[in-house]
Amino acid sequence: MVQADHITVVHGSLTVDVPRKIFKGTECRIDEAAAKPFREIVQNRYPWITDNSMDVILKKARMEMIRVRDEESKGKEHSRNLASQGKLDDAIAHMQLHLEMDPDDADSWYALGDLLCKAGRAAEGYKAYTKGRSLFKTCQKH
């Protein structure tokens, strides 16, 4: 679950609101300096929470943060991360999955076109660009 400034995760019977500011970059890395005060607050409030449990809570929150950021960017952020790691096929598959759920997202068709062209699949890329352009023109008419 997400709120404007935190990610809610469940660890056992404990529900914890983890501040979004703990996560940095497009990979949502945990900034240990930002996480330290949060760890202290939680462990002072719940003294039975071990360092290992805090690591698990933060890892769960990171995974949820990645999911939320991907949802907020309509699949584009995770696809860009995959592409920057040289995983173009995975990036393309991820963008295609998003487009299955939201086929009228013109920006995502453009992003898919970029990925396909980078992968050397220019003909497919141009088709994706054309689809995005036609959706954009349709939106402008309404």
Longest dimension (CA), the chain: 60
8 A C-beta contact, residue 1 and residue 8: yes
Amino acid 2: pLDDT: 54
Amino acid 7: pLDDT: 92
CA distances from 59 to 93, 106, 113, 114, 121 (A): 25, 33, 33, 31, 36
CA separation for the pair 120, 95 (Å, rounded): 16
Tally of CA atoms within 13 A in the half-sphere of 94 that contains its CB: 21
CA separation for the pair 35, 31 (Å, rounded): 6
Amino acid 27: pLDDT: 85
pLDDT digit string, tens, across residues 67-99: 888 888 888 988 998 999 999 999 999 999 999
Amino acid 37: pLDDT: 96
Amino acid 142: pLDDT: 56
CB under 8 A, 24+ apart: contacts of 113-120:
115/79, 115/83, 115/88, 115/91, 116/92, 118/83, 118/88, 119/88, 119/89, 119/92
Going 61 to 81 to 35 to 19, the CA torsion angle's sign is negative
Amino acid 22: pLDDT: 95
Domains defined for the chain, CATH in brackets: 6-72 (no CATH), 76-141 (1.25.40.10)
Q: Token pair 């990036």 is at which residue? A: 91
Sites in the chain below the pLDDT cut of 70: 1-3, 139-142
